[in-house]
């Protein structure tokens, strides 16, 4: 009965794709296809479990491994002009983990020297205080030549519908790719009107509040989601510190000099002391994160990518949860099967627990 229901949902989805373009809103059948693509053609029961195979899509392109062990896959629907761009997540390789740990913040618009043979000119947000994760920006930049080449070709072939997705690190890159491709689309790179829809999965936080504001604005009304298991620690990362730089200019806490001028002398002394005691620790912590997870990790990146220039980092480490979140809420039955085990730190991050929660909380509601 269980397999029959899964087949029924997939058949419904295939029919729908053949008739209508992508629509806004979270569609459980679309995320089911995304989950099936994450596992690809794996027959390993530890990886796949009961996740169905991607029968409605075929693998059309597989990029080379570039950057910091980065890779992406292009899947196309067998009967409809629909393409899925899937960014690979972290693999068990120290170089792949460098992309995660390289977490200093850089402006959300600029140029990143990836290596002595590649520069990446990017635009994720127009806001001057918007910042993003340098490692995942580098990852997207390394993948961008093949990504744009394939998209240009598909558009020439009549494709207008694209789903952008990835699990874990792949979801973080999907966030940035969404902003990047939407900016290119708005800038007129493609003549035909494209529909871009994003299903990040288990994705960590990609940038600061000002980036999140613009991302949420450009994908408003149901064009982007991040699906998270409530017990998964990855979407809680990277470390986040909010300091006074992270406020809007008119926020009185960003500069209290005007407030202090109106106070009596002794009150100014007391207020200034208290303010510094609150502000200085966050400033020092931010600088430490920038030093170790920016400059020092950047030097390790340079060993992998000769010619990479460590950028000037923004004085911020304010990573925030971004976009619409679809929360798969762990419950009593979930913990009976997946009790928290300190020896299995990725237990709640794996695809099978995600699928089982999703199936129970979304597919069975249909």
Is a pLDDT exceeding 60 seen at residue 110?
A: yes
The residue that leads in pLDDT, 6 or 156, is 156
Is a pLDDT exceeding 70 seen at residue 223?
A: yes
Q: Which of these ranges, 167-176, 218-227, 280-289, has the smallest mean pLDDT?
A: 280-289
Q: What is the arithmetic mean of pLDDT over 331-342?
A: 94
Is a pLDDT exceeding 80 seen at residue 204?
A: yes
Question: Would you kindly state where each structural domain of the chain is located, as residue ranges?
Answer: 2-365
How does residue 245 score in pLDDT terms, banded at 50, 70 and 90?
confident
What was the pLDDT predicted at 261? 58
What was the pLDDT predicted at 256? 54
Judge whether 225 and 324 are in contact, CB under 8 Å. yes
Judge whether 164 and 178 are in contact, CB under 8 Å. yes
How does residue 40 score in pLDDT terms, banded at 50, 70 and 90?
confident
How does residue 19 score in pLDDT terms, banded at 50, 70 and 90?
very low
Q: Which residues contact 331 (CB under 8 A, 6 or more apart)?
A: none
Q: Which has the closest alpha carbon to 10: 39, 51, 49?
A: 51
- 97, exposed or middle or buried, with CB in 10 Å at 0-12, 13-18, 19+? middle
CA distance 117 to 325: 37
Q: Which of these ranges, 6-15, 45-54, 122-131, 272-281, has the smallest mean pLDDT?
A: 6-15
Mean pLDDT, rounded, of the chain: 90
The alpha helices in 157-296, defined as continuous H runs, are 169-186, 209-218, 257-261, 265-290
pLDDT digits (tens, 9 = 90+) for 316-333: 999 999 999 999 999 999
Does residue 238 have a cis peptide bond before it, meaning omega lies within 30 degrees of 0? yes
Sign of CA dihedral 124, 153, 135, 39: positive
Q: Which residues contact 176 (CB under 8 A, 6 or more apart)?
A: 122, 124, 132, 133, 136, 137, 140, 206
What was the pLDDT predicted at 298? 97
Q: Which has the closest alpha carbon to 168: 228, 68, 99, 89?
A: 89
What was the pLDDT predicted at 264? 59
Is a pLDDT exceeding 70 seen at residue 284?
A: yes
How does residue 131 score in pLDDT terms, banded at 50, 70 and 90?
very high
How does residue 136 score in pLDDT terms, banded at 50, 70 and 90?
very high
Fold of 2-365: Rossmann fold (3.40.50)
Q: How many helices (H) and strands (E) does the chain have?
A: 12, 11
DSSP H or E stretch at residue 226: strand 224-229
How does residue 183 score in pLDDT terms, banded at 50, 70 and 90?
very high
- Name beta bridge partners: 325: 226
Q: Which of these ranges, 32-46, 117-131, 273-287, 288-302, has the smallest mean pLDDT?
A: 273-287
The residue that leads in pLDDT, 116 or 46, is 116
What was the pLDDT predicted at 269? 59
Supply the DSSP symbol for 364. Answer: G
Q: What angle do CA 129, 133, 136 make, to 5 degrees?
A: 140
- Name beta bridge partners: 320: 207
What was the pLDDT predicted at 277? 65
Is a pLDDT exceeding 90 seen at residue 363?
A: no
Q: Which residues contact 334 (CB under 8 A, 6 or more apart)?
A: 231, 353, 356, 357
CA distance 200 to 174: 6
How does residue 273 score in pLDDT terms, banded at 50, 70 and 90?
low
């Amino acid at each position: 009965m269980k397999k029959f229901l899964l087949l029924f949902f997939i058949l419904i989805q295939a029919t729908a794709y053949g008739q209508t373009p992508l629509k806004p809103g979270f569609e459980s059948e679309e995320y089911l296809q995304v989950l099936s693509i994450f596992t690809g053609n794996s027959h390993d029961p530890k990886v796949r479990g009961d996740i169905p195979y991607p029968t409605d899509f075929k693998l059309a392109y597989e990029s080379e491994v570039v950057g910091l062990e980065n890779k992406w896959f292009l899947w196309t629907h067998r009967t409809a002009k629909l393409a899925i761009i899937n960014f690979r997540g972290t693999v068990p390789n120290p170089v792949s983990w460098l992309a995660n740990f390289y977490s200093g913040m850089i402006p959300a618009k600029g140029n990143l020297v990836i290596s002595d043979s590649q520069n990446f000119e990017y635009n994720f947000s127009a806001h001057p205080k918007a910042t993003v994760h340098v490692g995942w920006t580098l990852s997207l930049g390394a993948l961008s030549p093949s990504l744009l080449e394939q998209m240009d070709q598909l558009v020439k072939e009549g494709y207008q519908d694209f789903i952008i997705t990835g699990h874990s690190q792949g979801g973080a890159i999907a966030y940035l790719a969404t902003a990047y491709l939407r900016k290119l689309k708005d800038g007129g790179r493609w003549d035909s009107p494209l529909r871009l829809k994003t299903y990040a999965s288990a994705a960590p936080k990609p940038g600061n509040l000002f980036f999140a504001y613009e991302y949420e604005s450009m994908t408003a009304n149901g064009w982007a989601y991040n699906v998270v298991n409530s017990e998964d620690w990855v979407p809680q990362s990277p470390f986040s510190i909010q300091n006074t730089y992270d406020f809007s200019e008119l926020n009185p806490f960003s500069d209290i000099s005007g407030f202090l001028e109106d106070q009596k002398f002794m009150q100014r002394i007391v207020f200034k002391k208290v303010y510094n005691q609150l502000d200085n620790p966050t400033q020092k912590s931010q600088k430490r994160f920038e030093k170790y997870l920016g400059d020092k990790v950047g030097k390790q990146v340079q060993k992998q990518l000769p010619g990479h220039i460590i950028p000037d980092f923004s004085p911020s480490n304010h990573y925030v949860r971004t976009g619409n979140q679809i929360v798969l809420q762990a419950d009593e039955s979930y913990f009976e099967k997946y009790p928290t085990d300190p020896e299995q730190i990725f237990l709640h991050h794996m695809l099978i627990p995600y699928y089982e929660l999703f199936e129970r909380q979304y597919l069975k509601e249909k």
